[in-house]
Amino acid sequence: MAHRSVQYYYDDGTDIFLVGGVLYKLHRTVLQATGSPLFCDMFMIPQPKDSKDKVEGTSDEKPIVVPQATAEEFHNLLELYLYPKWTPPPHPVSRYIDVLKLSTQWGMSNVREAAIWNISQYNNRELAATTKLELARRYNIPQWGGPAFRQLVNRPLKSLSNDDLDCIGVAAFVVLAKANEAIAEERRLVATKTPPNVCCAQCTHHVECSRAWKDVWWNKIAPSILHPDPGWAIAFPGEIKQKVSGLQVQGMGQGCRDETIAAVLDGCGFDGVGIITDMAVARVEKLLFS
Q: What is the pLDDT of residues 124-153, one digit of tens each?
A: 889 999 999 999 999 999 999 999 999 999
- E-strand ranges in 136-271 read none
C-beta atoms surrounding 222 within 10 Å: 18
What's 97's domain CATH number?
3.30.710.10
CA distances from 171 to 51, 102, 174, 182 (A): 55, 26, 5, 17
Same domain for 85 and 8, yes or no, is yes
Which residues touch 273 (CB under 8 Å, ≥6 apart)? Answer: 154, 183, 186, 187, 236, 237
Indicate whether 216 belongs to any domain: yes
What stretches in the chain show pLDDT beneath 70?
45-54
Indicate whether 96 belongs to any domain: yes
Indicate whether 200 belongs to any domain: yes
pLDDT tens, residue by residue, 153-199:
988 899 999 999 999 999 999 999 999 999 999 999 999 999 999 98
Residue 42, pLDDT score:
83
Residue 52, pLDDT score:
53
Indicate whether 285 belongs to any domain: no
Residue 69, pLDDT score:
96
CB 135 within 8 Å of CB 100: yes
Same domain for 122 and 9, yes or no, is yes
Same domain for 17 and 111, yes or no, is yes
The domain boundary residue, chosen from 105, 127, 149: 127
Evaluate the omega torsion of the peptide bond into residue 237 and state whether it is cis, within 30 degrees of 0: yes
Residue 126, pLDDT score:
92
Residue 53, pLDDT score:
54
The total number of structural domains in the chain stands at: 2
Same domain for 114 and 201, yes or no, is no
Residue 214, pLDDT score:
96
The domain boundary residue, chosen from 69, 101, 127: 127
Indicate whether 158 belongs to any domain: no
Read off the pTM: 0.85
Q: Label each residue of 190-210 as H, E or C.
A: HHHCCCCCCCCCCCCCHHHHH
Residues spanned by the domain of 207: 196-268
Residue 257, pLDDT score:
93
SS3 9: strand
Same domain for 7 and 123, yes or no, is yes
Sequence letter at residue 95: R
Question: Rounded to the nearest 10 degrees, how much is the dihedral formed by the CA atoms of 66, 71, 76, 79?
Answer: 80
Residue 4, pLDDT score:
97
Element spanning 235, H or E: none
Residue 51, pLDDT score:
56
Indicate whether 148 belongs to any domain: no
Indicate whether 189 belongs to any domain: no
- E-strand ranges in the chain read 3-9, 15-19, 22-26, 64-65
The domain boundary residue, chosen from 127, 144, 166: 127
Residue 50, pLDDT score:
61
Distance (Å, whole) CA 233 – CA 217: 15
